[in-house]
Amino acid sequence: MGETSLPGTSILRLGDLALRRPSVVAVIVGDVEDAVNEAARQGADMLEVRLDLIPEEPLEALRRVRKLSRLPIIATNRIRREGGGFQDSEEERAELLIRASAHADLVDVELRSTILSLVRESVKKPLIISYHHFQSAPGREELSGIIREMQDRGADIAKIAATPPALEDCLAMLETLIAARIPTCMLGMGEVGRHLRIMAPCYGSVLTYGYITGQTAPGQMRVDELVEALRILALRQPF
């Protein structure tokens, strides 16, 4: 990255997939039809279907999302320690995520999960490798190492969500983002980190995530709030 000015709206290409950069991702939970329609109304660029937080059969729900929207779809299936709701075995989690990839444009799997290698080998879609720290935020050196590890393990996009206890930690996250050598999404959780959901795209974060029907992470903002903030910062232009 290493830009010396605000990056503005551009295109991130991952194979045949072209994404707005930065993209506002609407997290789809609950009733998918209502959520997808509201995501479109609020101006989302992408949809993340949380297979672990949908009350109906998840693959059927994902197929419905595919029919309802032309926006790029991220399939995600989180376990509890990663902030999710999936409670069955890791083998079943991997199987669901792999099957879901047929109806999605990208797949998100955690760096520290036992299923990363299997998903990476089985899925033929761009891969988001994610890391979550709900109690604090790693320092810059550790963050840089995490991104390098994600790159080594085949990430098309590196995604880090951490909970900075102080503004100095937010600065470390932004400095790491600027220095990243692969497309990176940097998200702040909690009250101190909340502003990074708007500010990190100024420093090159390729994605930022917002809610439609209710927060799925501490400090998350609503999609239309993110869209308006990025417009004010001239990071959102006609595309």
Residue 98 covered by a domain: yes
The CB density around residue 169, as the number of other CB atoms within 10 Å, is 21
Give the pair of three-digit tokens for residue 215. 């927060």
- pLDDT of 3 higher than 70: no
The CB density around residue 71, as the number of other CB atoms within 10 Å, is 18
Q: How confident is the model at residue 215 (pLDDT cuts 50, 70, 90)?
A: confident
- CATH number of the domain at 151, please: 3.20.20.70
Enumerate the active-site residues: 132, 159
pLDDT one-digit tens code per residue, 71-101: 999 999 999 888 888 999 999 999 999 999 9
Provide, rounded to the nearest whole percent, the portion of the chain with pLDDT above 90: 87
The pLDDT value recorded for residue 7 is 56
Residue 18 covered by a domain: yes
Residue 222 covered by a domain: yes
Q: Which residues contact 4 (CB under 8 A, 6 or more apart)?
A: none
What is the mean predicted confidence (pLDDT) over 5-19? Answer: 83
Residue 4 covered by a domain: no
Reported pTM = 0.94
The pLDDT value recorded for residue 2 is 41
pLDDT one-digit tens code per residue, 167-184: 999 999 999 999 999 999
Residue 2 covered by a domain: no
Select the more confidently predicted residue: 82 or 108.
108
The pLDDT value recorded for residue 56 is 93
Residue 143 covered by a domain: yes
Residue 144 covered by a domain: yes
Residue 238 covered by a domain: no
Spell out the SS3 assignment of 61-108: HHHHHHHHCCCCEEEECCEHHHCCCECCCHHHHHHHHHHHHHHCCEEE
Structural domain that includes position 84: 10-232
The number of domains in the chain is 1
The answer to whether 49 touches 68, Cβ cutoff 8 Å, is no
